[in-house]
């Protein structure tokens, strides 16, 4: 049976490169989906890869829109009967000094953490036995963890459920909005990096939780990992990587 792979947020940057790599490494009969919120940008990305002799498929996906995620799930089940590789790549980094810290945190956490987990939970029933799931994380996750107070490090290290992780990330958000995050043991957030790092730390801890859960699933041999891609040149860092 052909494998089916899907990469979220993949019309550019790291996601685009992952789609290219999957197209090259998987068999010609396998299917690789490039997804993006904007249909035109997604189709333009498909054309770029086709010029390289590759043949990815396109499907619109906005991880902030439950209907969009559900529509993709329905398509995968109807067309392929399931999904074998899911790369949760979609994410943002806001470092605009004109945007308030509270807005940076809310927007960053929404995309990088809350919407990412929500879309995974919607799509995960489609993952077939022997499937592979990757959450794209960042080295900023461990960096931020080291900057947390010991009182915050402990619950992150001991989180057992998705609710545990959600509660911690929501606390960061509410503490920032209240202006008490530094006193509560969180790092300052003047350049967007700590909020990005907290979102990715949440992803790392959630990956551990999901991995433990899936190990008890009736579907056998599903492996879930998070990974840091390193410092690579993307729009997110003004091509400085």
Catalytic positions = 196
Euclidean distance between the first and the last CA atom of the chain, given in angstroms as a whole number: 38
3-class DSSP state for residue 56?
coil
Question: CA 137, CA 167: separation in Å to the nearest integer?
Answer: 19
Q: Which residues 6+ apart lie within 8 Å of 205 measured at CB?
A: 156, 159, 165, 168
Asked if residues 54 and 24 have their Cβ atoms less than 8 Å apart, the reply is yes
Residue from 41, 90, 40 nearest 62 by CA: 90
Mode of pairing for the β-strands spanning 31-36 and 223-228: unpaired
Dihedral sign computed on CA atoms, order 189, 192, 195, 198: negative
Question: CA 129, CA 131: separation in Å to the nearest integer?
Answer: 5
The β-bridge partners of 203 are: none
Question: CA 185, CA 139: separation in Å to the nearest integer?
Answer: 20
């Amino acid at each position: 049976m052909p494998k089916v792979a899907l990469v979220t947020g993949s019309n550019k940057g790291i996601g685009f490169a992952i789609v290219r790599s999957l197209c090259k490494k998987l068999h010609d009969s396998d299917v690789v989906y490039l997804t993006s919120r904007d249909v035109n940008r997604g189709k333009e990305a498909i054309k770029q890869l086709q010029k390289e002799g590759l043949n990815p498929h396109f499907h619109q996906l906005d991880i902030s829109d439950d209907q969009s995620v559900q529509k993709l799930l329905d398509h995968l089940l109807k067309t392929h009967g399931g999904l074998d590789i899911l790369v949760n790549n979609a994410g943002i980094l806001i470092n605009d000094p004109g945007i308030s810290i509270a807005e940076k945190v809310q927007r960053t956490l929404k995309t990088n953490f809350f919407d990412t987990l929500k879309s995974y939970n919607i799509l995960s029933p489609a993952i077939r036995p022997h499937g592979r799931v990757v959450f794209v994380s960042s080295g900023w996750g461990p960096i931020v963890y080291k900057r947390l107070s010991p009182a915050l490090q402990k619950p992150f290290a001991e989180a057992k459920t998705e609710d545990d992780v959600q509660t911690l990330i929501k606390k960061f958000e509410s503490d920032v909005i209240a202006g008490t995050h530094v006193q509560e043991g969180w790092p300052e957030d003047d350049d967007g990096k700590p909020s990005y790092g907290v979102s990715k730390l949440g992803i790392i801890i959630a990956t551990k939780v999901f991995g433990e859960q899936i190990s008890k699933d009736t579907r056998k041999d599903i492996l879930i990992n998070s990974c840091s891609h390193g410092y690579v040149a993307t729009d997110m860092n003004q091509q400085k990587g």
